[in-house]
């Protein structure tokens, strides 16, 4: 079975007013590397549908969704969320709807056994968005929308979400903290934006704060010791991934020192657990990753493992 690569042209229309690291060129860089790497024959492309309001409301408050819809600015204008650099422009909402819709489609395809694995190449990213807030370049929590869809529409009872972005997945944690149907594991640089996650106490949340300059060897040993055994014991029916590649050595957004081989290793551990517990079902969702070359290469390393299914 091929890995489904889900995206939509609208995801490239979302744009900040000037130079911003979370830019449309990120998706183009991934596309370029897909071609350069020769991995294309193992992928099947699908267009993301827009997420429905009902699907969004499983994890977001109606008032937040309404406010985003009402606040879409006219051409050439932007509003910011979080008082900072999370921009909403004229096309941002349609991009965000496709980004979340991609993950819903990925979950539907994997749970219908059309494929075992899916990767959603989408933006804006999602893991910093909570029920009633957007922040950190995120509007809707794409991976959470997908996990909730797996639980509510497909009746699953155990979904694991593993977030290896260099930033803590605070939004995903906020949405699922205390929900025993979801096991959430997030590895992240600490102390660092968004300055959360180091002192969470919840049975279903595994946070792995790690210092700046963490390299692949250090990350692998912490993940192997503190995440994988709990993931194995959870016996997930679906593994979802918040796949952020901003911990790459060449990525200036943060200070981890990971390389493509580390993302390949991480993906393989999850892939093996998925193989043992849920017939290899994995849905992965792009989060961060801002050095264009490193992002493209790292996504290919990730996809090479997924495409073995
Ligand atoms: Zn990040």
Ligand 1 centroid, distance to 223 Cα (angstroms): 18
For residue 127, the model assigns a pLDDT of 98
* d(CA 217, ligand 1 centre) in Å: 20
Asked if pLDDT for residue 82 goes beyond 90, the answer is no
Span from the CA of 26 to the centroid of ligand 1 (angstroms): 13
The DSSP code sequence of 132-178 is TB-BTTBSS-HHHHHHHHHHHTS--S-EEEEE-SSS--HHHHHHHTT
90 C-alpha to center of ligand 1: Å?
Answer: 24
CA 288 / ligand 1 centre spacing (Å): 4
Kindly give the distance from the C-alpha atom of residue 213 to the centroid of ligand 1, in angstroms, as a whole number.
Answer: 15
Q: Is 262 helix (H, G, I), strand (E, B) or coil?
A: helix
Tens of pLDDT, residue by residue over 231-255, are 999 999 999 999 999 999 999 999 9
Instruction: State the distance from the centre of ligand 1 to the C-alpha of 254, rounded, in angstroms.
Output: 8
The tens digit of pLDDT for each residue in 141-151 reads: 999 999 999 99
C-alpha of residue 286 to centroid of ligand 1, in Å: 10
**68 CA distance to ligand 1 centroid (A)?**
22
Q: Measured in angstroms, how far is the CA atom of residue 126 from the centroid of ligand 1?
A: 10
Give the model's pLDDT for residue 243.
99
Q: Measured in angstroms, how far is the CA atom of residue 237 from the centroid of ligand 1?
A: 26
If you measure from the C-alpha of residue 1 to the centroid of ligand 1, how many angstroms do you get, rounded to a whole number? 30
pLDDT at 47: 98
Tokens at 11, concatenated:
């995801």
**Which residue is listed with tokens 């803590």?**
168
Residue 164 Cα, ligand 1 centroid: separation in angstroms? 9
pTM exceeds 0.95: yes
Ligand 1 center to residue 270 CA distance, Å? 20
Kindly report, residue by residue over 56-80, the tens digit of the pLDDT.
Answer: 999 999 999 999 999 999 999 999 9
Q: What is the largest CA-CA distance in the chain?
A: 51
Q: How far apart are CA 195 and CA 188, in angstroms?
A: 10
In the structure encoding, which two tokens stand for residue 245, read together? 């590649």
Task: Return d(Cα 198, Cα 194) in angstroms, integer.
Answer: 11
Q: Mark the residues whose beta carbon lies below 5 A from ion ligand 1.
A: 165, 167, 244, 246, 288
């Amino acid at each position: 079975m091929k890995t489904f690569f889900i995206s939509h042209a609208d995801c490239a229309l979302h744009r900040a007013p000037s130079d911003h690291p979370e830019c449309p060129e990120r998706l183009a860089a991934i596309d370029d590397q897909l071609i350069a790497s020769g991995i294309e024959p193992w992928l099947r492309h699908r267009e993301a549908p827009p997420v429905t309001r009902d699907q969004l409301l499983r994890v977001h408050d109606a008032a937040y969704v309404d406010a985003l819809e009402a606040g879409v600015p006219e051409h050439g204008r932007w509003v910011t969320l979080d008082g900072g650099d999370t921009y909403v422009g004229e096309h941002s909402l349609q991009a965000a709807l496709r980004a979340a819709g991609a993950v819903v489609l990925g979950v539907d395809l994997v749970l219908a056994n059309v494929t075992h694995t899916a990767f959603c190449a989408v933006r804006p990213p999602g893991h910093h968005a909570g029920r009633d807030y957007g922040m950190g370049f995120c509007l809707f929590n794409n991976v959470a929308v997908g996990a909730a869809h797996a639980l509510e529409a497909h009746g699953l009872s155990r979904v694991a979400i593993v977030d290896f972005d260099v930033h803590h997945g605070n939004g995903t944690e906020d949405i699922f903290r205390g929900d025993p149907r979801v096991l959430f594991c997030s590895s992240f640089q600490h102390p660092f934006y968004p300055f959360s996650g180091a002192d969470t106490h919840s049975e279903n949340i595994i946070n792995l704060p790690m210092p700046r300059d963490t390299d692949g060897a250090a990350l692998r040993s912490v993940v192997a010791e503190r995440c994988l055994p709990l993931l194995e014991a959870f016996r997930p029916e679906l593994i979802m991934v918040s796949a952020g590649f901003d911990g790459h050595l060449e990525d200036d957004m943060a200070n981890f020192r990971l390389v493509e081989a580390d993302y390949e290793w991480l993906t393989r551990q999850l892939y093996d657990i998925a193989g043992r517990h849920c017939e290899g079902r994995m849905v992965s969702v792009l989060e961060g990753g801002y050095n264009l070359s490193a992002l493209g290469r790292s996504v290919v390393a990730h996809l090479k493992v997924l495409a073995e299914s």
